[in-house]
Amino acid sequence: MPKTKLPAVVSTFCLCFVFWLLLTWSFTAQEMIAGAVVSLAVALFTSHFFIHEDAFWLLRPAKLAALISYAFVFLAELVKANVDVAGRCFAGCKDVNPGIVKVPVDLKGDYAEDMLANSITLTPGTITLDIAEQDGKTWYYIHWIDVAETDREKAGELIKGRLEKEIRRIWE
């Protein structure tokens, strides 16, 4: 088991406490003390699971701005893909052309790869099946409901769109 570090514990504690306040939405002293105790216990036990890098990453203004701009770009992509898939469903579900494509991804770090895979899965029409590393590059296997392109690079451009550049800006 890796050793727990102080900045990781502090940032996890802050996250848990903010969520406690938002969920209870009462600011009496008793509730806040109980929330602090529970958040501290959770932070001590789980901080080494999900903080491996810079713990106070969110407090840097450039990163926060990049995250917010990513949220808007992702929302636009989400609405576009949703309208596409909903149109296919209402048109009788016959207009599908499924396939699994292999797409190269050029990102550094576990968090960035995880974020891109989850974004691709959340967009209707594409589901990430697996992540593999072969000869120094990272590959995603993506199930695509309408295969428009079988060449890997061009299919990657079509699926990832602007998301990869935005994520690279967030995680450098």
Contact residues toward other proteins (CB under 8 A) are 19, 22-26, 78-79, 82, 85-86, 88-90, 92-93, 96-102, 117-119, 121-130, 132, 141, 143, 145, 147, 150
Name which of 48 and 149 has its Cβ closer to other proteins: 149
Name which of 5 and 34 has its Cβ closer to other proteins: 34
Q: Encoding tokens for residue 32?
A: 């806040």
Q: What's the closest the beta carbon of residue 68 comes to other proteins, in angstroms?
A: 14
Name which of 112 and 124 has its Cβ closer to other proteins: 124
CA distances 66 to 85, 107, 112, 135, 153, Å, are 28, 16, 13, 31, 25
Helices 61-90 and 163-171 cross at an angle (nearest 10°) of 160
Name which of 4 and 81 has its Cβ closer to other proteins: 81
Q: What's the closest the beta carbon of residue 135 comes to other proteins, in angstroms?
A: 13
> 101 with 158: CB under 8 angstroms?
no
Q: What's the closest the beta carbon of residue 152 comes to other proteins, in angstroms?
A: 8
Q: Who's near 17: CB < 8 A, 6+ residues apart?
A: 35, 36, 39
Distance CA 76, CA 36 (A): 37
Q: Phi, psi at residue 123, to the nearest 5°?
A: -75, 125
Name which of 4 and 85 has its Cβ closer to other proteins: 85
DSSP code at position 147: -
Q: What's the closest the beta carbon of residue 3 comes to other proteins, in angstroms?
A: 25
Q: What's the closest the beta carbon of residue 160 comes to other proteins, in angstroms?
A: 15
